[in-house]
Structure 1
């Protein structure tokens, strides 16, 4: 049984090393290959969780076999329980929070139409200024011009009316109208 534990431990360590060294290359090669097998409701079957559990099973088995006087079946059961417990910890402490934190900071200029922002550089009639808008978890500064043919001073809240050629056309935000 000790050989099986060593195989699990060495296999897991090799998988980790290959993932660290060649992870991006292998990810590009096999991109989409496993989409057929994906189970949305079984998201705990992540490679990190599975291989981590197998590696832990092997390591715990080696340690328990060598440094305790336990029989092989209790060693296997205890190794399995340790592997399951550590896999659960890895899933809830690392994999699930990382999955929930995957956000894109990309946006389209057309997505900004209707957003409320604040003028950071005054917008003169016939000229350009700058507007700060909240997009996702961050802010973006964009070049802006006025739609109302009136100067808009810095600090004024504005609404994006349209976008053309990368320029936001804005008008002052008036709460009373809404």
Structure 2
């Protein structure tokens, strides 16, 4: 049984080293190969961590306790499950949530609030700044209502036509109407 524990420990350590050193190469080579395993918990980091802990706990229990083989295996499996759960919720899940893309489709801008940076004439084009995530993006815009919109006015993107944002004033300007 000790040979199994040592195999799991050494295999897990080798897997960790290989994924750290060759992670990008392996990731691109295996891209999409294991997508049929769509369960999030079957992440390689979680599995390798569990196997490594199983091996390490088994070795320690065998050397430092007088328990039976069945107790060693049971406690090693429990240790592996607990550590795997901790790795999943403490590392894997937060890292998945942190992988935010800065890419967006211009069609996604409909309904967003922006600010006119280059005045929009009633008939013609200007520029609008729209906040996307943590940054801002500038786009060519035209007035949806065919009104003059000076710089600094808050607008809402009504729709996008041929890459041009069509915007309408969000608030009435003081002194009008």
The TM-score range, normalised by the shorter chain, is 0.7 to 0.9
Q: Which runs of 5+ in 2 are unaligned?
A: 173-177
CA contact (8 A) 1:123 1:146 kept: no
Corresponding position of 2:119: 123
| Structure 1 residue ranges without an equivalent (≥5) | none
RMSD of aligned Cα (Å): 2.5
Q: CA deviation at 1:69?
A: 3.1
Contact kept in structure 2, 1:132 and 1:142, CA below 8 Å: yes
Specify which of 89, 99, 104 is matched with residue 86 of structure 2: 89
TM (normalized to structure 1)? 0.78
Provide the rounded CA distance (Å) in 2 between the counterparts of 1:122 and 1:29.
47
**Per-residue deviation, 1:32:** 1.8
Q: Paired residue for 1:153? A: 151
Residues matched between the structures, number: 168
Q: What's the TM-score once normalised by structure 2's chain length? A: 0.79
| Distance in 2 (alpha carbons) for counterparts of 1:92 and 1:151 | 49
* Cα shift readout 1:77-102 (whole Å, capped 9, x = no counterpart): 21111111111111222223333444
Partner of 2:51: 54
SS in 2 for 1:171: strand
Q: Distance in 2 between the 1:124 and 1:88 partners?
A: 55
Contact 2:114 2:131 in 1 (8 A): yes
